[in-house]
Structure 1
Amino acid sequence: MKILIVDDDRRMVKTIYDILKVKGYDPIIAYSGEEALTKVESEKPDCVLMDIKMPGINGVETLKTIKELSPDIPVLLMSAYVTEAQIGEAKQHGAYTVLNKPIDIQIILSFFALLRKEESILIVDDDPNFCRTLKDILQSRGYKVVTESDPDKVLGHMEQEYMLTVLLDLNLGNKDGLDVLRDIRAKYPSKPVVLVTGMKEDMTDVIDKGIKIGAYTYFYKPFAVESLIDSIKGISIKKLQSLLGEPF
């Protein structure tokens, strides 16, 4: 994963570069807004971490041009003096947020890890064909996927791995899917759970109960995979915002 670091403070750039390199990322360096724009076009980074106050083109102006060149690149701005006006302007032009310097490197690493899809998606369903097909599709999109048919083992998976979300079938043989949802909610109150079911006509009340318990959303089988992936992307964005201090 390529991360473009943009700052005229060369010592800070080197520090962040070295940390990212050790963590297995592919950091790229630019010391000005002008150089950053060149690197965006030539290197095609996956994310940009950029200072606001720089000689020449400042970070916000550079952000505007980056978003014209590559609208989907996530951009984080940073500044030693962050004001609400700066944050508002940055977000208006497509930045995730503006971070205070000195930046919290653990927050940055967590942010990048989520972008790199290091957290798993847990599919809980007793239909092996459904699990296999959906797992293959999600893995082809770069997600890590774990499947489980036994509802009593769900919490065990969640204790062992970082889960981005859980896709939970409501019909799991001997155990009610809503009971599994309640178990998840009791231990992981904010973990996004997406409900799925193949019985649309008979499950309206159950779906309503699931949403009240705290399910993120729901899908009726068969569903459009792109719609599911859009929901997963939405979960990722909300978690990224949460890492940066916004409510999830």
Structure 2
Amino acid sequence: MQEQANILVVDDEQGIRITLAGILEDEGYNVVVAEDGYKGIAAAEKTKFKIAFIDMKMPGINGIETFKRIKKISPDTIIFFMTAFITEDLLKEAVRLETQAILYKPLDIDLVLKVIKKDMIKTNILVVDDDFSIRETLKGILEDKGYMVSSAEDGLTAIEMARKIHFDIMFVDVVMPGIDGFQMLGEIKKISPWTNVIIMTGYDIEHLVERATSLGAYRCIPKPIDDMDKLLQILQAIKEDTIRSDILVVDDEFSSRETLKGVLEDKGYKVSTAGDGFTAIKMAGNTHFDMALIDVVMPGIDGFQTLGEIKKIDPEIKAIMMTGHDVEHFVEKAISLGAFAHLSKPIDIVELLQLTFSAIKE
């Protein structure tokens, strides 16, 4: 079982510290709390934290200064600011420091949990091979390169795993007991059409390429895998195939759009953001976007009006509408205006990635 991440919560309000720590511990995370910036810094000197939540306004030193000092100790720690209000100067400083996001009080717990899970997301790979040595060697190499890797010794096990977990990439051996790699590929594409499957074989690769490609495989590679540089180039090519897609995220809530931006960028998409409909329409007039994620409820003009104007500029753009309100009425109107799909808030990250893949590939 994968070890859970260490999380630091720094806030001078005891109620927030206790509540947030309790929720995170219930999710299985290891949580340390600190009542001010100095104690938060001291905690960071003793423990390596994956994520830190820091209140912006605290006695002693504020959240900005605490952020700077913790980053000196642990540059890899992902930091979220929390605040009940924020001045324009503080917002600019937070953005300049490249904080992961600003979460507004009272905290939306669903959003907190989603941003944590988003930042735990790496490219998720499944290695499927009945040869233990090959399976574990490839798994170790990919993990050393920063990928999240699982393994399965046969196709049936892999299919069951794919029903429960989203995998971005799979390495699949052709010859395995039970069902072979081609049968498994066919089943995987029914479950997860967006997964890139790389077929591995120790046999005549030219004979297999046409069949693998017809079933939706991304590539065929020979076994044994001796050229690791070439393997890593294939993984980079998969990422670059995704990067070619430009996405516009339109939402008046800063933390929401930055969270969505981060999720999509982590998967290789090129993402721009707009805080209102007018800005989004102007951006669509100057730049081609393959897809737009548009919040329905925004100041100025709402998401439906924004969608209508953007569709006039670029009828081919795929739009996914988002709302936390009156979903039934919203769905009908979104479809009538030509939206590709809809999402209910709080956004389910896996559903977001599935719909994004489908929209881009259509």
- Residues 48 and 76 of structure 1 are in contact (CA less than 8 Å); yes or no, is this contact kept in structure 2? yes
Instruction: Please name the residue that 2:134 is paired with.
Output: 130
Instruction: Please name the residue that 1:237 is paired with.
Output: none
- Residues 125 and 131 of structure 1 are in contact (CA less than 8 Å); yes or no, is this contact kept in structure 2? yes
SS of residue matched to 1:66 = helix
- Residues 130 and 154 of structure 2 are in contact (CA less than 8 Å); yes or no, is this contact kept in structure 1? yes
> What is the distance in 1 between the residues matched to 2:175 and 2:89?
51
Instruction: Please name the residue that 1:63 is paired with.
Output: 67
**C-alpha displacement of 1:12:** 0.9
SS of residue matched to 2:57 = coil
> What is the distance in 1 between the residues matched to 2:221 and 2:87?
41
> What is the distance in 1 between the residues matched to 2:74 and 2:257?
24
Moved more, 79-88 or 20-29: 79-88
Amino acid at match of 1:44: K
The 3 A distance-change label for structure 1 pair 91 and 157 is same
> What is the distance in 2 between the residues matched to 1:85 and 1:196?
53
The equivalent position to 2:7 in structure 1, one of 3, 13, 16, is 3
Moved more, 162-171 or 21-30: 162-171
The equivalent position to 2:58 in structure 1, one of 39, 50, 54, is 54
Structure 1, unaligned runs of 5 or more: 235-240
Trace 1:4-153 onto structure 2 (pairs within 5 A).
4-81=8-85, 89-112=93-116, 121-125=125-129, 127-135=131-139, 145-150=150-155
Instruction: Please name the residue that 1:157 is paired with.
Output: 161
When normalised by structure 1's length, the TM-score is 0.65
> What is the distance in 1 between the residues matched to 2:217 and 2:59?
48
The 3 A distance-change label for structure 1 pair 35 and 175 is closer
Instruction: Please name the residue that 1:193 is paired with.
Output: 196
Amino acid at match of 2:17: V
SS of residue matched to 1:168 = strand
Instruction: Please name the residue that 2:283 is paired with.
Output: none
> What is the distance in 1 between the residues matched to 2:169 and 2:38?
43
Highest RCO, 1 vs 2 (Cα 8 Å, sep ≥ 6): 1
Instruction: Please name the residue that 1:238 is paired with.
Output: none
> What is the distance in 2 between the residues matched to 1:78 and 1:155?
41
> What is the distance in 2 between the residues matched to 1:170 and 1:89?
50
**C-alpha displacement of 1:114:** 6.5
Superimposed CA distance per residue, residues 118-169 of structure 1 (whole angstroms, 9 cap, x where no aligned partner): 997421235443113334667899966231432x66433211x324544223
Amino acid at match of 1:147: A
Please say if 1:244 is aligned against 2:259: yes
> What is the distance in 1 between the residues matched to 2:66 and 2:131?
50
Amino acid at match of 1:244: T
> What is the distance in 1 between the residues matched to 2:12 and 2:221?
48
Structure 2, unaligned runs of 5 or more: 240-255, 265-362
> What is the distance in 2 between the residues matched to 1:30 and 1:71?
19
Superimposed CA distance per residue, residues 171-211 of structure 1 (whole angstroms, 9 cap, x where no aligned partner): 5575549x82x754554355x53636579xx68xx69x97x
- Residues 82 and 98 of structure 1 are in contact (CA less than 8 Å); yes or no, is this contact kept in structure 2? no
Instruction: Please name the residue that 2:313 is paired with.
Output: none
CA RMSD of aligned residues (A): 4.7
**C-alpha displacement of 1:89:** 4.2
> What is the distance in 2 between the residues matched to 1:51 and 1:78?
5
The 3 A distance-change label for structure 1 pair 153 and 38 is closer
Amino acid at match of 1:41: E
> What is the distance in 1 between the residues matched to 2:19 and 2:47?
21
Identical counterparts, % of pairs: 26
**C-alpha displacement of 1:33:** 1.8
**C-alpha displacement of 1:60:** 2.4
SS of residue matched to 2:44 = helix
Give the greater-gyration-radius structure (CA). Answer: 2
**C-alpha displacement of 1:100:** 2.6
> What is the distance in 1 between the residues matched to 2:75 and 2:114?
22
SS of residue matched to 1:55 = coil
- Residues 87 and 97 of structure 1 are in contact (CA less than 8 Å); yes or no, is this contact kept in structure 2? no
> What is the distance in 1 between the residues matched to 2:86 and 2:217?
35
